[in-house]
Structure 1
C-alpha cells in the first residue's frame, strides 16, 4: 500500500466517524460565513484525530498479532530485531509476552516426540489413574488429551500442509502439555499398577521439564 492509498483510507475512515459539532463562537476576524466553515473544519479535525487513534490501535494490534505468530513459528527476538532495526530489548518492552512464547516454542520444537509418547502412555493408563472423586471431570480431560494427541499426529505428520493459521499446531501442542496434561496430573488418583505409575511419573517429568525450560528466568 502506498502512502497515498493509506491517506485515502484514513480520510474515508474520518468521513465515517460521527462527531458532534463544536462551535467556539464568532471571531472578530470572521469574514462572511467563516464561522460556519470553521465549525465544519473543527468537526473534520476531530474526526481525523479519532480516525488516527483508531488506525493506530488497529495497526498496533495487527503488528502484535503478527509478532506473536512469527515467534510461534520459531523466530527469535534477534530475528525480530533484524526486521525492526531495533534492539531485542525494544521488542521485549513493546511485546512483553514474546519472551515466554519463544521459550515455550523452542522447548516444544525439541520435544514433540517426547510429549506425544508420554501423553499416549498417560492416555492408555487412564482407567488405572481415575481419582476417587471427580470421575466424570477426569475422563473429560482424558478425552481432551486423546483429541489433542490425534490432532498432534495430524499436525506433525510429514505430509501435513499449512493451514489458515500456520502457528496453530504449536499453540495446540502447548495447550496439550500446559493445560490438559497438567490438569490430569493434578487430578489423577493413586496408580493402580506399575504401568500406570510409570505413565504418571513420566508425564510429571515432562511437565517439570517444560516448567523449568519456559520459566521467565530461562534465557529467551
Structure 2
C-alpha cells in the first residue's frame, strides 16, 4: 500500500471539501484587541470561519468513512466472509466485530441459507409464477403487480447466477446476493401475502411449496445467538 500517496490524496480531497464548505460559513466579528496590528481583526474572523469549516468537514469525512467501512464489511459478509475472516483483516476480535456491526449476524445467516438454496428457490418461485393465474386474490390489481415484480426479480437473479458471468458486470460484487435476498424476503413474501386461496390443486401445490421456501428462510435466518 502506497500510504504516502494515499495520505496526500486524502489531504487534497479534504482541502477541496473545506474550500466548498468555507464559502458558506459566516461568523460574527470578534472583538477588536489593543494588540491588533493592521488587519488582524478581519483576519481573525476569517481564521475562526476556517475553524468552523474544518470542524464541519471533519464530521462529514468521519461519517462518510464510517459508512464506507460499514458497506465494505457488509459486502464482505454477503460474499461469504465470516467473523473470523473479518477479525483477521481488522485485528479486532469476533466479539468486537459483532458489537460494532450488529447487522452482520443476520447477513451471514441469510447469505448462508441463500447459497445453499439458489436452485430450490428458483424452482419454487418459477412454479408459483407459472400457477399465478390459479389464485383468487382479494386485491387482483395489487396481486398482478406483485407477480410482475417477482417475475422481474427472478429473471435478474437467474441471470446473475447463470453461467454467463457478464450478467453482473458493472455492478457491485455483492449486488447479486442482495438482490437474491430481496427476491425471497420482499418479492416472494409480498406475492404470498396477496395470493388468496388457490383455485385448483396445481396452484395449491405451488403455494404450499413457495410458502415452505419462505418459512424455511425465516427459520434459518432468525437470530439464534450462535457464533458465526
TM-score using structure 2 length: 0.86
Q: How many positions carry a matched residue from both structures? A: 219
Q: Residue in 1 aligned with 2:9?
A: 5
Secondary structure of 2:163's match?
Answer: coil
Secondary structure of 2:29's match?
Answer: coil
Q: Residue in 2 aligned with 1:15?
A: 19
Q: Taking structure 1 as reference, are residues 16 and 183 closer, same or farther at Cα in structure 2, changes over 3 Å only? A: closer
Q: Residue in 1 aligned with 2:165?
A: 160
Correspondences of 1:1-220 after superposition (within 5 Å):
1-17=5-21, 18-131=24-137, 133-161=138-166, 162-163=168-169, 164-217=171-224, 219=226, 220=228
Q: Taking structure 1 as reference, are residues 136 and 83 closer, same or farther at Cα in structure 2, changes over 3 Å only? A: same
C-alpha distance in 2 between matches for 1:114 and 1:147 = 18
Which range is displaced more, 114-123 or 86-95? Answer: 86-95
Which range is displaced more, 204-213 or 35-44? Answer: 35-44
Tell me, yes or no, if the aligned pair for 2:30 and 2:44 is still in contact at 8 Å. Answer: no
Q: Taking structure 1 as reference, are residues 177 and 15 closer, same or farther at Cα in structure 2, changes over 3 Å only? A: same
How far the C-alpha of 1:5 sits from its partner, in A, is 2.7
Tell me, yes or no, if the aligned pair for 2:106 and 2:222 is still in contact at 8 Å. Answer: yes
Q: Taking structure 1 as reference, are residues 29 and 89 closer, same or farther at Cα in structure 2, changes over 3 Å only? A: farther
Q: Taking structure 1 as reference, are residues 2 and 176 closer, same or farther at Cα in structure 2, changes over 3 Å only? A: closer
In structure 1, stretches of 5+ residues that fail to align are: none
Query: Cα RMSD (Å) of the superposition?
Result: 2.0
